[in-house]
Amino acid sequence: MSHALIVIDVQNDFCPGGALAVPGGDEIVAPINAIMDGFDAVILTQDWHPAGHSSFASAHPGKAPFELTEMPYGSQVLWPDHCVQGTKGAAFHPDLRTDGDLIIRKGFRSAIDSYSAFFENDQSTPTGLKGYLETREITQLTLVGLATDFCVNFSAVDAARLGFDVTVRTDLCRAIDMEGSLRAAEEAMRTAGVKLN
């Protein structure tokens, strides 16, 4: 029985000064680095969009960032352009330790967004992370990173549904918190059986 730390999207664009900055996003870097050695495995995720990605408001004429649109797979928040493959914004925060075991990239299909580290937003296209964890006999997961109410939330809920024992260290996460999304995310995670502390 092994325990993995999953570090979600601690990338420049989600930190102050970035394209989709999460307030205080950089505050969690040093304390995340400090806990890495206490886990059997460390996995980092990286939001990794092609230019012109369908989750960008700029790809939808007449739409502004943070508005909603309907996609074939359901409702989707439209974001400022962020985490474009190969750009500085998509790189990890320069102080984040990246000597972990696996880096999993997501959101690289133009037509579909992917908040979760397990499934894209159609809730069926897998990223491959489940198979990796099972192969390594990892059953316990601790999640930290950005943003609490989007990628951390979706990853934690999917992980719990898949049967993993999931804890979210909310002190090592920061939220976008648009229109009550943080409260809703905490509720969704608790309902799914995720431990919050």
Cis peptide bond prior to 160, omega within 30° of 0: no
Q: What is the number of residues in the chain?
A: 197
Enumerate residues 76-95 that contact ligand VGL by CB under 6 A. Answer: 79
From 106, 113, 149, 173, active-site residue:
106
Q: Catalytic annotation on 151?
A: yes
Question: What is the smallest separation between the CB atom of 184 and ligand VGL, expressed in angstroms?
Answer: 14
Tell me if 152 sits within 8 A of 17, measured CB to CB. Answer: no
**Three-class DSSP category at 159:** helix
Q: Is 47 in the site for Zn ion (CB under 5 A)?
A: yes
> Strands 102-106 and 41-47, how do they pair?
parallel
| 146 or 166: CB nearest ligand VGL | 146
From the CA atom positions of the chain, what is the Rg in Å?
A: 16
Q: How far is the CB of 8 from ligand VGL (least distance, A)?
A: 6
Residues lying near ligand VGL in the complex (CB under 6 A) = 9, 14, 47, 79, 115, 146-147, 150-151
Annotated active-site positions, please? 9, 106, 151
